[in-house]
Amino acid sequence: MPIRPLIPLLSLFLALSGCAKTSEATPATDTSTSDAGKQGTSPTDTSLTELAFDSGPLAQLPETTPPGKDDFDFTTDEFTVAAGKEKYLCFTRRLDEALNIDRVSYEKNSVVHHLALVRTLTPEADAPFECNVFFKTTWIPLFANGTDSAKIETPKDASFPLDKGAQLLVQLHLLNYETKDVTTKITIRLHKAGKTTHQAGIYGFGTTNVKLPSKKETSVTNDCKPESDVHIFAAFPHMHTLGTTLTFATGPDEKSLTPRFQVSPWDFDKQAIVPLDLVIKAGELTRVTCTYFNDRDTEVTFGESTENEMCFFTTFVSPWKGLDGCIDLGGWGAVTPGKSTFDKAKCDAITGNDKGVGKACTKKGGECGTLQCTADLDPSNTDGKGMCIVLGCAATSECGTAASCCSPKEAGGIIKTCLPDVCRPDDCAL
């Protein structure tokens, strides 16, 4: 089994390939002396897309209508939110057919404070479960929104491909302000596009180098130059509860950086995927700036929990050229290589263990069951051949005989994977 497909895919949506990037955290600059610099005030450049979440930036949708012949509805089970209570719930669904999606829409529900629709890279529970996490590194976002009705559409002749058997997940943040319990369900509608010429996908900007001193305002930045043109049609800015402003700027060089997108003030409970028509040329400088005020008594660092923080500007692009991005993963922590057990000849000849790790598989062949085939995860794979692996393992005990759970250096230590011992690279930390 060739080792080639194992490592490039493990960066997933946080891919590092093709970018020169630097990140830093600095005390926030005081801009209160100038109207042009105040929070919520747009620069004079008219190409800036600025969001104030209370302005309702997304279009309202009509009242509930039956699905059309080209619609696919993800409807959750009924759930109850007690009077005056808050909760977080996740629902999953596996696709029994392959879909090409060119539009996602949602009609508001009185108890939904925000929601996210994602495709999972590692399987989540089939039954509904509580999930106080809005974003995970193994979740690929398709749609997100706050309290209003909303929709996102791909450019003409482009779509998001979803394979048969793919698992979709809806995460709901629920708040019931009423004096009585509310029992309800929600529906997210996906429109089938049929065959399209171009594939839509995601391209991430941002950093995990987030360290916020107690009782201070801090700005975190990440500079990066994409190696090829990036055609953006929508964006999903993401911070947690301490965020105050997020800005995305581009330009030929640092002196020429111009803000293209800004959210100010930031509202964690009203996050959304929003339309953005922007082309970034190869070699053009980009900068993501996330500003926070940490009112807590302790330092806050990067992490998936809402008690931690994030700084991501995830964009939706078409044409999609494969897993790539301008993400600095240095803040996730140091990765210490494990003792290498790699043996190319033995790796090429491996047949799989008692858990299926290492079994040969083919692109969209379905041989891996609940595991993942490297050929499905690597767009650059041209021969259709791969190996079954486990993404998102927590311990080697999950991997079966003669396999280990390790963190590839190229994935910044974020995503752990079960690999056969004879296929584990030198820099995959145990």
Residue 425 pLDDT = 79
Residue 66 pLDDT = 74
For each of the domains in the chain, give its residue range(s) and CATH number, in order of start: 20-27+200-328 (2.60.120.230), 71-193 (2.60.120.310), 335-429 (no CATH)
Residue 288 pLDDT = 97
Residue 142 pLDDT = 85
List the alpha helices (DSSP H) in 28-121.
none
Residue 28 pLDDT = 53
d(CA 367, CA 30): 57
d(CA 57, CA 366): 41
> How many helices, marked H, and strands, marked E, lie in the chain?
2, 32
Residue 379 CB-half CA count within 13 A: 14
d(CA 227, CA 19): 6
**Which positions of the chain have pLDDT values less than 70?**
1-65, 134-135, 137, 322-324, 329-340, 378-380, 408-414, 427
33: Cβ contacts below 8 Å, ≥ 6 apart = none
List the alpha helices (DSSP H) in 201-278.
none
Q: Which of 60, 55, 270, 237 is nearest to 146 (CA)?
A: 270
Residue 282 pLDDT = 94
| Sign, Cα dihedral of 41, 250, 331, 50 | positive
Residue 8 pLDDT = 36
d(CA 385, CA 259): 43
- pTM higher than 0.85, yes or no? no
